[in-house]
Structure 1
């Protein structure tokens, strides 16, 4: 069964897609990229009910009357989507999408079956990642969504139609809320809370990702019984550029949860 509806959260209607059958696998994208960045995960629809969405003020989702958007606000919207789905989920956060995913798993453990972090981080405290966040804030502040949309779509995929969708999603986003997402994400620090995770947790990372590679050991130190999968040669854009390995790792997670 395929669904292309909206769900209601605090003062906004937000766009999501649900396709496939099986356990609910909910993907959380980085700012601006929206559901389009997970197109390569459509092959998982034979094994999961795959859910993707545009966060508040991103792409096809409304902004509501929010002039700020914190990581906690983002997690509240994810909670409302899970309530709408009416089923516990396997939560998969990619890049900055991993931050509200961590918060959701910590604050609403009864709603999360497992947590998967793909090239994610608990805090922004390394040089390259800090620079990327500063560029995101600067681009959103300077009205350069068209430029950043073209750049991010090109670096994520060679598929022209997917490039078009990602670029359009970013251009159609609320620049004020994108800036707030980057600013809040840059300041958030989940490290001291990670030991309280109660669901099974998994980290998937690319060995060539200069942005997040240094965070893997920190996750291993703080999350009990963490399972880690390394994708050799993978840079930051794992869901699009290493989709086969990402999808294979997710299928293995399903098997581990069932065993």
Structure 2
């Protein structure tokens, strides 16, 4: 697979481009089941700095740094604009990208996304990630993420092995920065169409839709029935159909 500026990525298909942003540690394999979208669109996946096969940055990881890491990939592929899709905390990176580069943002898709961490349960998830990595528990974290997201034994193992490639310092920084990141007061600057996709049973992130709706006029919300947080892997067919519909309107 190609790389640019130490960023590892792949591209499949042709047509309107959609670029997927993964949450801490999981890498581009998070979106294996979104590859069928390449039958109609250009699907781009990347490993964020210090994740998967991408090299850790020289500077301390921040959400703006991670958002900036998208630009070399787009430039290498000669893409003027892209629909950017972030899953979980990858959504914060997608939002920051849209805020920094509105002229290159054709649309935004957030899967279980949020502009800030303001709920107790979500805060505890970040704190658990921080503590686990700090105590050298990357192998345990890899197993948990693989088990939670994988739909087959092979896919669980693939996710687990991919998480183990993460640079511990980079992963720690991603959790710390993700916990303190907020862009709520800047959301009004976003003019691109926004699609929010939530699992119907992912209750502790549902309230974030109101922060978005109050500040971004062109906001659409879709719930995936019977789903919790792991929509890209556990409910891929429904997710892909929702993305199809949105891409056709962008």
User: Which residue number in structure 2 is paired with residue 46 of structure 1?
Assistant: 39
Return the alpha-carbon distance in structure 1 between the equivalents of residues 119 and 73 of structure 2.
32
Over the aligned positions, Cα root-mean-square deviation in angstroms equals: 1.1
- 8 Å CA contact 2:84–2:94 kept in 1: the answer is yes
User: Which residue number in structure 2 is paired with residue 7 of structure 1?
Assistant: 4
The C-alpha deviation readout for 1:199-258, integer Å capped at 9, x for no partner, is: 11111111111342221222222211211111122100000011111100010012212x
Secondary structure at the counterpart of residue 135 of structure 1: helix
- Correspondences of 1:1-259 after superposition (within 5 Å): 4-8=1-5, 13-66=6-59, 68-87=60-79, 88-257=81-250
Structure 1-normalised TM-score?
0.93
Deviation (angstroms), 1:154: 0.5
Return the alpha-carbon distance in structure 1 between the equivalents of residues 147 and 185 of structure 2.
36
Return the alpha-carbon distance in structure 2 between the equivalents of residues 103 and 207 of structure 1.
26
Secondary structure at the counterpart of residue 169 of structure 2: helix
Deviation (angstroms), 1:119: 0.4
Structure 2-normalised TM-score?
0.96
- 8 Å CA contact 1:79–1:108 kept in 2: the answer is no
Q: Which runs of 5+ in 1 are unaligned?
A: none
Deviation (angstroms), 1:141: 0.7
Return the alpha-carbon distance in structure 2 between the equivalents of residues 95 and 83 of structure 1.
25
The C-alpha deviation readout for 1:49-81, integer Å capped at 9, x for no partner, is: 111111100111111323x20001101101222
Return the alpha-carbon distance in structure 2 between the equivalents of residues 249 and 215 of structure 1.
19
Q: Which runs of 5+ in 2 are unaligned?
A: none
